[in-house]
Amino acid sequence: MQHDAQSTRASLLLQLRNAGDANAWEQFARIYTPIVYGFCRNQGLQDADAADVSQEVMRAVARAMEKFEYDRQRGKFRNWLLTVTRSKLNNFFSSRQRQHEPHGNTSIQNLMDREPTPAEQSSWDTEYHGRLFHWAAEQLRPTMQESTWQAFWRITIGEEDAAKVSADLNLSVGAVYVAKSRVLARLREKIQEVDEDAELDRPSLPR
């Protein structure tokens, strides 16, 4: 069954309100757990600790989703998920600090009260957009002609010269740019199935 882009936007987030929808939760975890994990690693956590915090975040999301109402005017899902992630990270650091300084939690409280730093926001956005792109690419590539995908990838991600790519793939230069446009449109549509507000700007595309 075919759905237009508008009907599928935010559909995954809405499906999560049903705690028994195992398929939706599996897809959500597959997409978003690596984002949280990568952010935690960038904050200095070791592999096992990052995995533990990621699981805590997923549990918190599961509890919150029972009453989830999607309202883009109240803020982006991406930023809400960052807030949850920072909260669980702060719990982790606070626990560690209490082990070494039982009476000294002022610095942790200050960390919990402040907004994300530009570096934290940048790290989160990079993880977020990069992961959504990779997920969408994994979903779409098997459904497309290889020449179309290669034309898109080489001039968009590889930043190769369009004339060289067209010669290598036996396509016209115009066809190469059409392929790029077509794949980008499909990627945007796919990404917006799981987050309506997610962007697909050139700086967020991984190399």
Full DSSP string of 95-110: HHHHHH-TT--HHHHH
Mean pLDDT for the stretch of residues 59-82: 76
- In this predicted structure, the answer to whether residue 143 has a pLDDT above a threshold of 90 is yes
pTM passes above 0.85: no
Q: How many residues does the chain have?
A: 207
User: Amino acid identity of 125?
Assistant: D
In whole angstroms, give the CA distance from residue 43 to residue 184: 31
Query: What integer pLDDT is reported at residue 22 of this predicted model?
Result: 85
In the chain, what are the helix, strand and coil shares in percent, each to the nearest 5? 75, 0, 25
Per-residue pLDDT band for 157 (boundaries 50, 70, 90) equals very high
User: Amino acid identity of 143?
Assistant: T
148-176 burial by CB neighbour count: b if 16+ within 10 A, else e? bbbbbbbbbeeeeebeebbeebebeeeeb
Query: What integer pLDDT is reported at residue 101 of this predicted model?
Result: 55
> What is the tally of structural domains in the chain?
1
User: Which residues span the domain enclosing 175?
Assistant: 5-204
